[in-house]
Every structure is written in structure tokens, then in C-alpha cells.
Structure 1
Amino acid sequence: MSRALGALQDPGFRWFFLARTITMIGGSMSSIALAFAVLAIDNSPAALATVLTVFTVANVVFLVFGGVVADRLPRAAVIQSCYVLDILSVGAMVALLFSSNATVPLLAALSAVTGASTAFVMPAMQGIIPQLTTPAHLQQANAMLSFVRSATTIGGPIIAGVLVASAGPAWAMSVQIVGWLVAIVLLAMVRLPAPSPSDASFFRDLRTGWGEFWSRTWMWSICLAFMLLNAIHIGAWGVAGPFIAKNDPRLGIAGWGWVVSAEGAGILVMTLLLMWLPLRRPLRWGMLAVTALAIPLTMLGLYPHAALVAVAAFLAGAGVEIFNTGWNVTEMEQIPGDKLSRVASYDMLASFVAMPLGTLAFGWLIGRVDTTALLVGSAIVYAVVALGTMLIPSVWRMGRVEAASVTA
């Protein structure tokens, strides 16, 4: 057990882990609540797609700037500042929902604020983890964070579904506000040395990050693949899924909560395994495993029965976690720490940039084309693209730096 939880020996990581745990609990409920808050105002996939698209566009626009800021300033302070902004924007959503004054344009505008804030948080979090733990604990640290994320994904949607159905989405979103407040206090306990002052201009730092990103074939090739994979994922899963759940009794809103929770359960089981079992070829196994997401997409199109889709979602969650842990560990080992947030922001930008197109495309296609053909076809494309990345030598051969050092 000490090996699996070795990262908790590092005091800074302990405080960060606790803060991240609390925010993920609220976030797992708030995302579900926002989706059904939008559908309660306008029961159309286009309305939900609009809000998701605005969030993603704002996130994509500010990502590379967030990476530079996170490399220049103390990363814990960057995260705390963004949480304050999130409290204000989500608090405004809650007030609008409680007063029955919420509209889709207003929720979309406030989602843009949270999307921009998240663009600064994500690179900061990617860069801070190697600062808080040792290389030997890096895989365990990432697996532990994924464990909490999956655990909250299991319980959060179920609680959110009950809370939304009984009291309304505003109460579920309020939980996240409380979580951010507590996390701000906990992050104040993280003590890290200030980053070295940079004499370079802001845009020169951007170019340096781009050079680090583009010089690695394994990185840009997988990111290009995920431009399409994420567009399919957010469109087929994030837009088509809730819409089918609300309008098909075989799935239902409560059933969709169980499906999302099953996906989290798959992640949960896999994170437990990854705390013990090292990924010697993290990219090879990661891209093979992520292909499993094609299974629930196919089931959602062929026969959206809650139990069957939930089983498929469990397998997909396990596969996604293998990729996520393998990718994060590889990035943290291969990229210099003082450039990690910038490189991570380009990684996120490339991966997310097509997601707005995915939400808009699926929001437009649902109801205009045969849903079964749309989802099954999307699943086939997803599997082919994911497996195709394994033909790239650096993806196939990539190993762990720590494993190579031990062998030497």
C-alpha cells in the first residue's frame, strides 16, 4: 500500500491532492446540472451544443496564454485566482436559476467565463504535479488523481440526478462553489519556490513552447489524432447522450447518470491497478486502450438500453484511464519542467480546438440523419484513427524514463 500511495509522502502533493479532490466532487455534479439546466430552458440538442461550444471556444482561445502565465507565475496562485473567477461566474448562474431569469444566452456567456478560467487552470495543474512529487511517484500521483476523479464521477452524477430532479440544478451547482472556496484555502498551504524571472517577451515564450511541442513527433501526432477523437467524443457522448437520455425511455435521465457513473467505475478500477502496475510502454498501451470508447458509442446508436450502455461505458472508462495516465506521465517525464505548462497548453489546444465543431456538428445532425448510422459510423472512425497512431515509431516505442534509468 505504501508503494501505491507513495506520492502522499510529499507534503505539497498532499495539500494539492486534497484541494483537487474537493473541487472534483463539486465539478462532477455541476457539469450534469448545467446540461439539464439548459435542456429545461430549451429542450433541444442545439441549445446544449451552443453552451458547450461557447465554453470550449473560450477555453481554446486562452489556452496558450494560460500556459505562458503558468510558467511565469507561481502555479498555485494561478489556480487560486482562477477559482475566484469561477466562483463569481457560477455564482451568477446559480442566482439566475434560483430567480428563474436564466436564459440560454446568459448561461452561454457565463460558461465562456468559466471556459477562459479553465484555460489557465489546466496548464498550471499539469506543470505543478512534477514540482510536488518525485519522479518515482509520478505515475502513482497521476493515478491517485484519476482515482478521485473517477470516484466522484461515479457518485456525483447520481447525486446530481437526484438533486436536479427533486430540487433543481442550481443546488448541485452550489456545491461546486463551496468546493472552490475550500480549495483556495488548502492551496495556500502548498509551498513552492518562485519561478525564475524570464527576460523573454510573452510572445517569445509562446514560440519557445511551440518549438518544444513541435520537435516531438509522438506529441503532435497524437494531438492531431485527438482533434478528431475529442470532437467525436464530445459530440456523440456529450450532446447525443443526454439528448437520447431525455427522449428515449430505454435510457432516461436517471439511466444516463448510471451510464456516466459506470464510466467512472471503469476509470476507478483501472487507477487502482495503475497504482501498482507500471506502464513500460505508456503511449502504445494508451492508444490501444482508448479505442474501447468506440464500444459504448456503438451501443448508444444500436440499442441505448441503460444496462448495456453502462457495461460498455465501464470498459471505455478503463481504456481512457490507461491513456490518460500514460500520456500525463510521458509528458511530465519528457518535457523540461520550466516549459511544461506551455507545452501542455499547446497539447490541450491541439486536442480541444475541434471540440466546438463536434458539439455543433452533432447538435445539427441529430434529428436530421439516422441516429444509429451517425453513432455507429462515428465509433468506426474513432477506432480507426486511434489505432492508426500506433503506426508511428516514436508512439510505439516510447518507454518510461525511470524504467530506462533503472535498466541502465
Structure 2
Amino acid sequence: MPPFRLFFAGRLISLLGSAMTPVALAFAVLDASRRPTDLGVVLAGQIVPQLMFLLVGGVAADRFPRRVVLLGSHLGAGVTQAAVATVIVTGHYHLALVAALAAGNGVAEAFASPALRGILPDLVPPESVQRANAMLAAARNACRIAGPTVSGLLVVTIGAGWSIALDAASFFVAAALLARLRVGSVVVGRVDSRGGFRDGWAVFRGLPWLAAGAISFGMLNLVNVGPWNILGPALTQARSGEAAWGVVLSVRAAGLLVMSALLYRLTFRHPLRAGSLFGVVAALPLLALGLGASLPVLLAAVFVGALGFTLTDITWETTLQTHVPREALSRVASIDDLISYAAIPLGQLLTGPFAALVGARRVALISGIGYAVSKLAPLSLRAVRDLGPAGAAGPAGAPGPVTKSESVSS
């Protein structure tokens, strides 16, 4: 089996398992503890270690074979999930134990994420990176649609613990496929792959479009994740009924999937410019919530917004993988992840108090405006506007046309 097909098969299996986990874990913890705060502790116990170890994971994925790092991280995730399933199935739930296992799972994800982003250019030629990303995005979005439904059925029929056990099994199956993956060696260029974080940071700083893009994503996550996930259900229910939020999420998933399919064929001469210009429509759902739009208008905004969100995601991922030296790609990706995701907990913590102070609709409206401004801001930099298409990087992942001497950009 060709390397990318083997990799894709492993990702599809683990993505489906991971998409099932949130529903199963929520029911498992709530049924065992009867305390909603326990679920919050468990979820925080996973995301915090993930953020803490991201940079370490990036260094590891550049220093050691990425296939080996992925194999270890998938086995680690499988073991932690299997342990959680065992605790739930046997009726030995204890908050500290489940939170500790969730932390272990977060550490495994911290090592997996940079390696996953770094290994793709080793599996396909530069001109095929966007197609590969589009296929992976389509698989991820399809799993987001199917995973919660399947998990819900499994929770009802066999129990939440066994549903989590299936997620653990998916990691082990994916690890078995990754063990068969054969990846060619990376050609070491001007960046020493044996270097540590400092060398990766030097590459990150040397590509100014990258810093601006990462900061932009950080601001987007600050104003989007908390308001959308916390205020979205309440505002939608208040105006359109309890079932409306499920419809909203289904329409959003459909939009994500449609754009993933379109970008298998569609390319852009200036991908970051296109990502900023078209990606600004991802602010529409928050604006619709803030303006008290009717359900049909909200659904249209959500669908169009999902198109822009996916276009931004895929063009950014492809640009990163084709313009950053491969031997530093995982370190750079981990820095990008940390800057992009670090503000999510802050946004989640601030959303509730801010909504209580000025009103939920006003917070949604302000967040939508903030999203649009943050998305368009990088266009003020020439390096963002003029960066060439995917594949502009030379063979073996040599840097593309952007150099340290160019103007600051995303």
C-alpha cells in the first residue's frame, strides 16, 4: 500500500474513534459522579498538559523519526483510553484517577500533533500536499458527523465505558498501520534537525508570515471558541427551540465537508491571501447570533461560515507544510499550535462573566466583529498577500520565496 494511503487509513480509524469519545466520556463521567464539575476537571486535565508539552513534542518529532513518535503517541493514547474504559466499566470511578489518565492522553496528543503535521510532506510530493490535506480534512469532518451519532447509540446499547474502549482500540489499530509505514529520510538543509527548540524558534521568527498567521489564529480562537460553544446553544434555543442547535451543528458539519471536497481540486495563486479574504465569512455565525437572526438566516450563515473556516484551515496547513523546512517543520508546527490554542481556555473562562455583564447577544456580536478584524489583519503585511502557492517550496522542503529579509507578514 502506498505510504499516504496507509497513513490515511490509520488517521481515518483514529479520527472516528476520537470523534466518538466526547459523547461517551461526558456520559461516563456524569453517570459515575453526578457532578458536572467533574467533567470540567477531566477536560481541563487533558488540554492543559497538551499545551504544556506541545513544544517538547515538536522537538521530539524533528529529532527522531516521526513515524516512531506517532507510533509511541498512538500507543500511549490507546493505553490511557483503555485504562479510562476499564475504570468506568468496572465501576471504580475516581475523579483524580480519571483526570490523571486524561492528562496522560493530553501528553500523547502533544507529541502526536506536531508529528502528524510534519510527516505529511514526506508522504506526498509538494504539488499534492493540498489534496492530501483536503482528504484528511474531509475524513475529519465526516467523522465529526458520524462519530457523535455512533457514540450515542453505543452508549445506549453497550454503555459509555465500552464506547471509550472502542476509541482505545482505534488507537491500537492506527498504531499497527503506522508501524508498517515506510517514510524516506528527510534531507537536512540549513536547519539542523538535531537541534532543540531554539533552532525551531529561529525558523519561526525567520518566516514573518508565520508569526502573523499564528497570532491571528490565536485571536480567532480567543473570540470564537468560547462564545460559539457557550453562548451559541443558549441563544439558539431561546429564539428557535431546543432542537435548533443540533440542526445548526449538522449544517456546519456539512459546510466543512463540502469545502474539504472542493479544495481537493481548487487551488489559489496566493493561498494566504485567499484564506484571509474568504475566511472572513467564518465570522457570520457569531454575527447572526449577535443580531438575533432567524433560524434560516443563522443556518445560511453557519453553512457559509463553515466554508470559509475550512478554506482557511487547509490553505494555512498546506502553506506551512510547503514553505517551512521539513527538518524543522514539527517544531514550527508546535509553536504555531501553542500560540493558536493557548487563548482558548481564557476565552472560555471570560465568555460567561462577560455575557452576564453586557448581555449574551452583545458578546456574540462583538466576538464576530473581532473575528473579522483578526482574520483580515494579516493582509496588511506584504508577505501574507504575496506568498506563493503550495509547492513553491523547493524539493526536500527547502524554504519557499519568503526570507528573513522580507517585510513582516503572516
Whether 1:142 and 2:133 are equivalent positions in the alignment is yes
Q: Does residue 1:271 correspond to 2:260, yes or no?
A: yes
Separation in structure 2 between the aligned mates of residue 399 and residue 217 of structure 1, nearest angstrom: 14
Equivalence for 1:182: 173
Structure 2 counterpart of 1:230, one-letter code: N
Structure-2 separation of matches of 1:202 and 1:285: 32
* Residues 1:209 and 1:293: Cα distance change in structure 2 (over 3 Å): same
Give 2:73's aligned amino acid: C
Alignment of 1:360-375 (within 5 A): 360-362=349-351, 365=354, 370-375=359-364
**Structure-1-length-normalised TM-score:** 0.84
Question: How far apart, CA to CA, are the structure 2 residues paired with 1:401 and 1:294?
Answer: 26
* Residue range with higher mean Cα deviation, 309-318 or 180-189: 309-318
Residue 342 (structure 2) pairs with residue 353 (structure 1) = yes
Q: What percentage of residue pairs aligned between the two structures are identical?
A: 35
Q: Deviations over 1:60-90 (max 9, x none)?
A: 1111111111111121121111111112222
- 2:384 corresponds in structure 1 to 395
Q: Cα gap change, 1:265/1:172 in structure 2, threshold over 3 Å: closer, same or farther?
A: farther
Alignment of 1:260 with 2:280, yes or no, is no
Further displaced range: 175-184 or 304-313: 304-313
Stretches of structure 2 that go unaligned for 5 or more consecutive residues are: 395-410
What are the residue-to-residue correspondences of 1:6-405 with 2, within 5 Å?
11-35=2-26, 37=28, 41=33, 49-102=40-93, 106-164=97-155, 168-193=159-184, 204-241=195-232, 250=240, 252=242, 256-300=245-289, 303=292, 309-362=298-351, 365=354, 370-400=359-389, 402=391
Q: 2 CA distance for matches of 1:260 and 1:289?
A: 21
Cα distance in 1 between the residues matched to 2:41 and 2:235 = 17
Q: Does structure 2 conserve the Cα–Cα contact (< 8 Å) formed by 1:224 and 1:350?
A: yes
Q: How much has 1:340 moved relative to structure 2?
A: 0.8
Shift of residue 310, structure 1, vs aligned partner: 4.5
Report deviation, 1:54: 3.3
288-297 or 82-91, which moves further after superposition?
A: 288-297
Please, which runs of 5 or more residues in structure 1 have no aligned partner?
Answer: 1-9
Query: 1: distance between equivalents of 2:159 and 2:244?
Result: 18
Distance across 2 between alignment mates of 1:175 and 1:158: 14
Kept after mapping to 1: 8 A contact 2:235/2:361: no
Give per-residue Cα distances to partners, 1:311-346, cap 9 Å, x unaligned. Answer: 433222211111111111111111111111111111
Instruction: Write the distance in 2 (CA, Å) between the matches of 1:271 and 1:314.
Output: 13
The superposition leaves residues 258-288 of structure 1 with CA deviations (integer Å, 9 ceiling, x where unpaired) of 4333322112111211111112211111123
Q: 1:43 to 1:258 in 2, by over 3 A?
A: farther
Number of paired residues? 392
Residue identity matched to 1:153: R
Q: CA RMSD in A?
A: 3.2
Q: Distance in 1 between matches of 2:239 and 2:165?
A: 29
What is the aligned partner in structure 1 of residue 398 from structure 2?
none
Q: Name the TM-score, length of structure 2 as normaliser.
A: 0.84
**Which residue type is aligned with residue 359 of structure 1?**
Q
Cα deviation, residue 239, structure 1: 4.0
Deviates more, 1:12-21 or 1:319-328: 319-328
CA distance in 1, matches of 2:365, 2:8: 38
Q: Deviations over 1:212-270 (max 9, x none)?
A: 0011111101111222211233312344456778x869454x65444333322112111
Contact persistence 1:67–1:123 (CA under 8 A): yes
